[in-house]
Amino acid sequence: MQKPSLRERLRPFELLGISAVIGLFTGLVILLTTREWWLAGVGFGVAFIFAVMSIALLALSAKPNAAERSDLDEQDRAGH
């Protein structure tokens, strides 16, 4: 069985990083417009969670390519 590459292992952190950037941008915009720290924190949290959920749903809707399908088949055969 082939070990996952570094890029494949870091993919979840990449998606969390993108979500954090979206949340920071939203929080910063709210902070600069309202000057309310608590409101900026709430905006950051809501935007971060929404971004994580959206990216996860988009990742689930993607169809696996041929290499991923063959890897899944190989794992299924090894499990039986």
Tens digit of pLDDT for each residue in 30-76?
999 999 999 999 999 999 999 999 999 998 888 777 877 887 788 77
Structure tokens at 22: 């979206």
DSSP string, 3-46: PPPHHHHHHHHHHHHHHHHHHHHHHHHHHHHH--HHHHHHHHHH
Q: Return the higher-pLDDT residue of 70 and 79.
A: 70
Please state at what angle helix 6-34 crosses helix 37-61, rounded to 10 degrees.
150
Residue 6 backbone dihedrals phi, psi, to 5 degrees: -60, -40
Q: What is the pLDDT of residues 13-28, one digit of tens each?
A: 999 999 999 999 999 9
